[in-house]
Structure 1
Amino acid sequence: MTMIEDHTKQLIDILSDCLAKCTACAKECVEQGDKDLARCITLCVDCADLCRACIPLIARGSDFSAELCRVCADACERCAQECERTGMTECAEACRKAADACRQMVSA
């Protein structure tokens, strides 16, 4: 039985944290009901969905994980920028960390 390598496990953990924080951020934005937060909600949901999609591909070493991680890194970076703009700093930090981790995985 092959175990997941430490660096892979760390990436999965970072993506899982980003997924959770983006989901919570989107929920909080919806509850505020401010139309100015619509872009934040959309980007958070997109980012969470891409993180969720990356996790199983990375875990099984899919040939497509690098391509999807490239897209995920872009979505995470855009989400971080929007969350920072709206004052959602915890989500922005998680997104930047996920974007950096995905980029490192792609370049390795």
Structure 2
Amino acid sequence: MTFNHIITDWKFWSAFFALLALILSQMPPIHILLRRAKLDLEVYSRIFITHKVGNPNLQIHLILRNIGGRVIRVKKMNAVILRDNKKVMSLPAQTYVANQKDNQLVLLTSFDLKP
């Protein structure tokens, strides 16, 4: 069978496109694969700033959403405090409240957000 004969054979092309359709049907849509990871951050309008024995604390309510097409790995978070557009201090996120009833603090480690 020559190369020209394979190109003009309609059975070859129908099998080729059937196999291609089967492969593509098992994958997510192409536009989802091509989207970059994108993080949406929603901050509650009020924050609580205090200190304990000179250790500054900042309590903030955040909603993080992954609106992109890929998994995002959040490794750390920092809150930068500004006064008159000048940096006063930067506070790293260290803990979060796991259960509202118990007010139990949990160590903040890196986590993944799925799309």
Q: TM-score range by the shorter chain?
A: under 0.3
Higher relative contact order (CA closer than 8 Å, sequence separation 6+): 1
Identify the structure with the greater helix proportion.
1
Structure showing greater Rg: 2
TM-score normalised by L of structure 2: 0.21
